[in-house]
Amino acid sequence: MLEIFFGNVGDGDAVLIREIREGKPDFVLLADAGRPYVEAREGSLRKDALDHLMARGIRHLDRMVITHPHIDHIGGALRILRMIPTDRLGMMTLPPEGARYVPRSFTSPDKVVNGLRHMMNVIRELTDEAKARGTVTEVLPEGTKQLTKMLRMTVICPRREVRARQKAVFDALYRGADVSYDLCWQTAKERNIASLMLRFEYAGRSILISGDRYASDFEEDIAPCDIFKVPHHGDVKSMTEEAVRKLSPQYAVISCENDEKGKKERPHEETACMLQKYVPQVLCTENRAMKCMPEATHNGICFTIAEDGRISCRYE
């Protein structure tokens, strides 16, 4: 049996995938790790990714995969690595040998560029910790890997020019070289479309974890799936009708929060309604009230796939 658990980490992503054989986890993978800390809020069941893992009895990870360097996806990884032995840590880009600390500007208030530099140091600290703990760090290559006898993972990388630009800018900054403001800004803004996408296949079923890669960037070349993790928390630019029709999932999962005062509408009502038009079940870890959805909060959303391919789903 395969279990896929989308934890409620507020405005962030953390997806636990584990194959269970004879009542025990045989393989455990975490895709993204949420924020460093998730503030408790009345009326919400959101919590840190580490709390979700501990509550589910996870004491070892075979793999952790970070789809892209935004704080709501990578922020919780360091605490998890320190608490839970992890065999392998995979990302799209790793710091070069001897990578330096990347200082943020003391003269510019630019949130975008300084945010990129901060995330680069988060990556550096995470990979240093991994190496110190004997965790193998790796750049995940595009293609399919057999994880267990029944479970396969396909890594779908971003466009080649986006990959090349991110690596060149990251490597230059890690080595202390000067990089133009415009190129830093472009690379920072491309972090969403630079997300790794992960497709898991088990018992004839397919689960697509999209990171935050907007559907407009991948809609031309995507295969159907059964369970789809909606990118970028279901905001207004996350999905297109063309992508939903091509994917034709049975389930669409939006990892989001129910904060009425949030600066960004996640999920956006237009996106939620459009998904409901094409997808039999649209599920949110947490959401504010909308015309097409009542307000809700859950500990998470759990799917199981039996060895004969039957899918079951429940809110927790």
23 pLDDT tier (thresholds 50, 70, 90): confident
Tell me the angle at which helices 181-189 and 160-174 cross, rounded to the nearest 10 degrees: 130
Mean pLDDT of 134-147: 97
Which region among 50-59, 158-167, 180-189, 260-269 has the lowest average model confidence (pLDDT)? 260-269
pLDDT of residue 29: 98
For the segment 144-181, what is each residue's pLDDT rounded down to a tens digit? 999 999 999 999 999 999 999 999 999 999 999 999 99
> How are the residues of the chain apportioned to helix, strand and coil, as percentages rounded to the nearest 5?
30, 25, 45
* CATH superfamily for domain 2-315: Ribonuclease Z/Hydroxyacylglutathione hydrolase-like (3.60.15.10)
- Cα 130 to Cα 190: distance, rounded to the nearest angstrom: 26
pLDDT of residue 25: 81
Residue 105 has pLDDT above 80, yes or no: no
pLDDT of residue 264: 77
Residue 262 has pLDDT above 80, yes or no: no
Smallest CA-to-CA distance from 260 within 41, 6, 13 is with: 41
Residue 261 has pLDDT above 70, yes or no: no
Q: Following DSSP, what letter does each residue of 24-65 receive, concatenated?
A: EEEEEEEE----S-----TT-----HHHHHHHTT---EEEEE
Reduce the DSSP state of residue 226 to 3 states and report it: coil
* Secondary structure string (H, E, C) spanning 107-153: CCCCHHHHHHHHHHHHHHHHHHHHHHCCCEEEECCCEEEECCCCEEE
- Cα 136 to Cα 68: distance, rounded to the nearest angstrom: 18
Task: Name the DSSP class of 290.
Answer: B
**Structure token pair of residue 183:** 């190129």
Using left for φ > 0, alpha for ψ between -120 and 50, and beta otherwise, residue 203 falls in left
Kindly list the domain boundaries of the chain, sorted by start residue: 2-315
263 pLDDT tier (thresholds 50, 70, 90): low
Residues 244/276, Cβ–Cβ less than 8 Å = no
Q: State percent of the chain over pLDDT 70.
A: 98
pLDDT of residue 14: 98
Cα separations in angstroms, 122 against 89, 249, 287: 14, 34, 29
Cα separations in angstroms, 79 against 19, 49, 130, 135, 208: 24, 9, 11, 14, 26
Mean pLDDT of 305-309: 97
106 pLDDT tier (thresholds 50, 70, 90): low
For the segment 57-92, what is each residue's pLDDT rounded down to a tens digit? 999 999 999 999 999 999 999 999 999 999 999 999
pLDDT of residue 166: 96
- Cα 179 to Cα 167: distance, rounded to the nearest angstrom: 13
Using left for φ > 0, alpha for ψ between -120 and 50, and beta otherwise, residue 204 falls in left
Residue 107 has pLDDT above 70, yes or no: no
